[in-house]
A = this chain, B = another copy of it.
């Protein structure tokens, strides 16, 4: 087995840059957090409420025995000083809310567009990289690829030599010779593999022993939690 996993990686305590990563990490760690909370509930018989506003504008909450009850108790102890200024008329108020809603919708659309843009660029970059697979360390290429590569490069080398001779002979601003690097003109190149069959060497990992940790679960039942409304 060719070292399938590098195991858990250390991660800097900085906001994760990549959106997908952040999402996955959020998901995993949120469930971890809620699990810890539920364990604390059962082990120590305490009451806990957790509210999380996700990056995706969702609300997740955990509460034992009930969020509402806990919030009520908490608010009773720490009276909120909600701004009861009642500054403007009801109509004005409604207008404000509608305005904010409109802005929010619009901006959310912008976010969507920008995200698509970003993903598109990432995609392009990835393609561009896979197009440049020979840039990767040789050790990552398969034997077939290496043979192809060798043949192609020798052919190419000859072409280059000719080209160089041609240029030296002419000594004039290059008049666009009929040569292309990796163009379809070169049959050796036409069959070059693309970067994604690296894994030929992988040995199928068949692990009959299901001794892995996950067979016995649900020791600690999660006290009802779920995403909030809206």
Please name all residues of chain B whose beta carbon is closer than 8 Å to the beta carbon of A97 when the two chains form the complex.
Answer: 93, 96-97, 100
Q: Which of A43, A68, A167, A180 has the most CB of B within 10 A?
A: A43
Q: Which of A54, A73, A135 has the most CB of B within 10 A?
A: A135
Q: Which of A51, A61, A91, A106 has the most CB of B within 10 A?
A: A51
Asked whether A157 lies within 8 Å of B160 as measured between CB atoms, the reply is: no
Asked whether A11 lies within 8 Å of B48 as measured between CB atoms, the reply is: no
In the assembled complex, the CB of A6 is this many whole angstroms from the nearest CB of chain B, namely 14
Asked whether B48 lies within 8 Å of A74 as measured between CB atoms, the reply is: no
Asked whether A45 lies within 8 Å of B36 as measured between CB atoms, the reply is: no
Asked whether any CB of chain B lies closer than 8 Å to the CB of A197, the reply is no
Asked whether any CB of chain B lies closer than 8 Å to the CB of A207, the reply is yes
Number of copies: 2
Asked whether any CB of chain B lies closer than 8 Å to the CB of A103, the reply is yes
Please name all residues of chain B whose beta carbon is closer than 8 Å to the beta carbon of A47 when the two chains form the complex.
Answer: 52-53
Asked whether B49 lies within 8 Å of A44 as measured between CB atoms, the reply is: no
The digit string for A166-193, where 1 denotes a CB below 8 A from any CB of B, is 0100000110110111110000000000
The digit string for A87-98, where 1 denotes a CB below 8 A from any CB of B, is 100110111110
Asked whether A139 lies within 8 Å of B51 as measured between CB atoms, the reply is: no
**What separation, in Å, do the CA atoms of A5 and B122 have in the docked complex?**
32
Asked whether A52 lies within 8 Å of B46 as measured between CB atoms, the reply is: yes
Told that A72-B82, A93-B97, A153-B157 touch, could you supply 10 new A-B pairs with CB distance under 8 A? A12-B205, A29-B39, A48-B52, A51-B70, A59-B77, A61-B74, A104-B104, A107-B107, A121-B121, A153-B153
